[in-house]
Amino acid sequence: MYTAVWDDALNKGNLDALEENLSPDYVLTTTSQTITGIEAAKAHYGTYLTAFTDIEFIVDDIYGQGNTVIKQWTFKGKHTGDLFGIPATGKNIALQGVSIAQIVDGKIASDTDFADDLGLMTTLGVIPTMSAHNNMAIIQKVYADFAKGDVPALGAAMDAKVEWNEAENFPYADGNPYIGFD
């Protein structure tokens, strides 16, 4: 039942399957919002159906004990429509996540979704890609500039509102926290 409802709703575009399988007071909690009720859930999932084509929702793994079901999933699609204010990019995505559901009286009472929103935003180009290689190069340059005593280069690498604390018992610790490079 649990995997079939998501197959019907997301892969087949049948949001009415939610009415049959969610409890009337269904609650969806995501990393950015809480959605309550079947109609709100239909609107939320409907956004994905209009924002993406070539949708493939895959339940990668599923576990259950008592009234709790945990599913690991992948949502694939091509971004061809508005997604919560993000205009279509034409990019293919593979959003991965985990959901923890509570089943009450044979219906899904709640879902808590943990999705790789950062990966999605990076793939869509909303957030620039930051590679570990680039981050390492920045840190190595800061240490090299520090070793050379190149104060202007250090300042250029820092955010204007950089914040740090001196170690306890150090003479300058009484000024903690320090904000700004100066």
Residue-wise pLDDT tens digits, 67-92: 999 999 999 999 999 999 999 999 99
53 near 89, Cβ under 8 Å? Answer: no
| pLDDT of res. 1 | 66
23 near 105, Cβ under 8 Å? Answer: yes
Among candidates 91, 156, 94, which has minimal Cα distance to 125?
Answer: 91
| pLDDT of res. 69 | 96
Helix (H) or strand (E) holding 94: strand 92-104
* 71 φ, ψ (degrees, to nearest 5): -125, 140
Separation CA 19–CA 118 (nearest Å): 30
What is the C-alpha R_g of the chain? 23
With a threshold of 0.75, does the pTM exceed it? no
124 near 86, Cβ under 8 Å? Answer: yes
Residue-wise pLDDT tens digits, 116-157: 998 899 899 888 766 656 777 778 888 888 889 888 888 888
| pLDDT of res. 132 | 57
